[in-house]
Amino acid sequence: MSVDLFDKMQMSNSDLGKYREVGHGYYLFPKLEGEIAPIMKFRGKDVLNWSLNNYIGLANHPEVRKADADAAKQWGMAYPMGARMMSGQTSYHEELEQKLADFVSKKRGYLLNYGYQGIVSIIDSLLGRNDVAVYDSDSHASILDGLRLHMGKRYVFQHNDMDSFDKQMQRATKKVEETGGGILVVTEGVFGMEGDLGNLKAITDFKSKYNFRLLVDDAHGFGTMGKTGAGTGEHFGVQDKIDIYFSTFAKAMAGIGAFVAGDPDVINYLQYNMRSQIFAKSLPMPMVIGALKRLDLLINMPELRENLWTIVNALQKGLRKAGFDLRKTESPVTPVFFQGNVAQGTNFLKDLRENFGIFTSIVVYPVVPKGTIMLRIIPTASHTLEHVERTIKAFSEILVKLKAGEYDAEEVTLDV
Ligand code: PMP
């Protein structure tokens, strides 16, 4: 028996969709208004905002705003009109690519319109039917979706578990001996949900045991990790062993777009094969010129990154000292774990927003296991130590209330 295709689209059927009725516009799809800054407006009230990936505070930097505005004035949003391969090539695109590549110690770079589509397309164009992928179980959706296009074998290793990696590499190696293909390992520099780092040192050490190429998605590491901000490979001293380095502009670069960098042969190949770039319009000029300015500041103003780490260290140390469970984060991403059901979680989030004036994102089942609630704090260089203190105090108070049963409820409600 057939059904109407749209019958299954009853929102109550999906994991997050069932919260739409009570939560839309509040827990999900909230609107933060005003200039991008630590204090923004939520439903007309000022809130201390820990929910934007504006790591080094570039989003509202006066030089960035000016570069964006000047570029928009000079070029408009339409230029260049066409895909890079056809009519969308400019010297600015090429200049940005070379500067990005130089910064991350790679020979060549190539721009991507979005990180998500870019990484899907990188994986898709690198892997043929006979090739094999080996990837971390906590990989970002864009990596998983790239792998969904892959027609050959893929093996997943347990998150950052090197015994599991070794086992999957043995299977992968056996497989490519049969198929005549090669192996691509995919992992992340910083895992964006929990802030722990990909085990890049251990993985690259396996290069002496197995023949593989390594692709690292460093979305949260670029601009935040490493001595110069060149990312998690730099942090571990293994950047030269990362064959293909990827990052988005959506985080520390406070923009939109992304890039991939590696050896010229590989980047040339990607440039002529990535469907997301061949069949889509080139990044508009204000994005490219704006990204050149952001990169210039990111490289030449290390104090931005130092400010970020001052806030990160104060926040993470303070929360840990106050007894909070932040698991294994070693990056600016600061997850705070609580035990409780979704209804309790949304109740204390509401209290935090309405009575403490603090805005964070909440992560619940199915992203984290049932019975766990995670508040995800993203510190930035623009936050202050006073913001940190206020937040630790507020978190300590809500923890007492949570333990005293003040947020107990069976159902998610919204009565604000
Ligand atoms: N990879 C990771 C690890 C991410 O966190 C994200 C989300 N920004 C992406 C890729 C996708 O990047 P974009 O937002 O540029 O599409």
Assess whether 107 and 253 both reside in one domain: yes
Per cent of the chain over pLDDT 90 is 89
pLDDT in tens, 296-331: 999 999 999 999 999 999 999 999 999 999 999 999
The predicted pLDDT at position 15 comes to 66
Residue 410, Cβ neighbours under 10 Å: how many? 8
Instruction: Say how many Å lie between the CA of residue 141 and the centre of ligand 1.
Output: 9
Nearest CA to ligand 1 atom 4: 219
Q: Are 83 and 282 in contact (CB under 8 A)?
A: yes
Which residues' Cβ are closer than 6 Å to ligand 1?
A: 114-116, 119, 140, 142, 188, 192, 217, 219, 248, 250, 258
Assess whether 214 and 335 both reside in one domain: no
pLDDT in tens, 291-303: 999 999 999 999 9
**Distance (Å, rounded) from C-alpha 82 to C-alpha 284?**
10
Q: Are 106 and 263 in contact (CB under 8 A)?
A: yes
Domain range for 11 is 5-55+302-403
**Distance (Å, rounded) from C-alpha 155 to C-alpha 2?**
35
> Is 233 a member of any domain?
yes
In 3D space, the residue among 19, 72, 81, 64 whose CA is nearest the CA of residue 349 turns out to be: 19
Is the predicted pLDDT of residue 412 greater than 90, yes or no? no
pLDDT in tens, 370-406: 899 999 999 999 999 999 999 999 999 999 999 999 9
Assess whether 171 and 210 both reside in one domain: yes
Assigned token pair, 393 = 């105090």
The predicted pLDDT at position 11 comes to 59
> Is 412 a member of any domain?
no
Assess whether 47 and 155 both reside in one domain: no
**Distance (Å, rounded) from C-alpha 117 to C-alpha 275?**
9
Is the predicted pLDDT of residue 251 greater than 90, yes or no? yes
- Choose one of 276, 300, 324: the last residue of a domain: 300
Is the predicted pLDDT of residue 87 greater than 70, yes or no? yes
Determine the average pLDDT of the residues in 277-291. Answer: 98
**Distance (Å, rounded) from C-alpha 144 to C-alpha 275?**
17
Q: Are 145 and 294 in contact (CB under 8 A)?
A: no
Instruction: Say how many Å lie between the CA of residue 178 and the centre of ligand 1.
Output: 34
> Is 414 a member of any domain?
no
- Choose one of 252, 284, 300: the last residue of a domain: 300
Nearest CA to ligand 1 atom 1: 219
pLDDT in tens, 350-359: 999 999 999 9
> Is 264 a member of any domain?
yes
**Distance (Å, rounded) from C-alpha 352 to C-alpha 373?**
14
Task: Work out the pLDDT band at 13, boundaries 50, 70, 90.
Answer: low
**Distance (Å, rounded) from C-alpha 138 to C-alpha 194?**
10
Assess whether 156 and 245 both reside in one domain: yes
Assigned token pair, 222 = 């670029």
Assess whether 181 and 264 both reside in one domain: yes
The predicted pLDDT at position 9 comes to 78
Assess whether 91 and 170 both reside in one domain: yes
Name the DSSP letter for residue 282: P
Is the predicted pLDDT of residue 238 greater than 90, yes or no? yes
The secondary structure element, H or E, covering residue 141 is helix 141-148
Mutation choice for ligand 1 from 117, 119, 135, 140, CB with most ligand atoms inside 8 A: 140
Task: Work out the pLDDT band at 411, boundaries 50, 70, 90.
Answer: confident
Assess whether 39 and 176 both reside in one domain: no
- Strand pairing category for 45-49 and 358-359: parallel
Assess whether 369 and 322 both reside in one domain: yes
The predicted pLDDT at position 415 comes to 74
Assess whether 105 and 14 both reside in one domain: no
Read off the CATH number of the domain in which 136 is found: 3.40.640.10
The predicted pLDDT at position 242 comes to 98
Is the predicted pLDDT of residue 277 greater than 90, yes or no? yes
Read off the CATH number of the domain in which 393 is found: 3.90.1150.10
> Is 410 a member of any domain?
no
Per cent of the chain over pLDDT 70 is 98
Assess whether 78 and 173 both reside in one domain: yes
> Is 415 a member of any domain?
no
Determine the average pLDDT of the residues in 79-104. Answer: 98
Determine the average pLDDT of the residues in 235-255. Answer: 98
> Is 332 a member of any domain?
yes
Is the predicted pLDDT of residue 12 greater than 80, yes or no? no
Name the DSSP letter for residue 190: B
- Choose one of 268, 284, 300: the last residue of a domain: 300
Assess whether 394 and 321 both reside in one domain: yes
**Distance (Å, rounded) from C-alpha 189 to C-alpha 166?**
19
Total structural domains in the chain? 2
**Distance (Å, rounded) from C-alpha 109 to C-alpha 94?**
9
β-sheet bridge partners, residue 372: 339
For the chain, give the mean pLDDT.
Answer: 95
pLDDT in tens, 215-225: 999 999 999 99
The predicted pLDDT at position 209 comes to 98
Instruction: Say how many Å lie between the CA of residue 53 and the centre of ligand 1.
Output: 11
Phi-psi sector, 257: left (phi>0), alpha (psi -120 to 50), beta: left
Helices (H), 255-380: 264-273, 275-278, 285-300, 302-321, 342-354
The secondary structure element, H or E, covering residue 200 is helix 200-205
> Is 126 a member of any domain?
yes
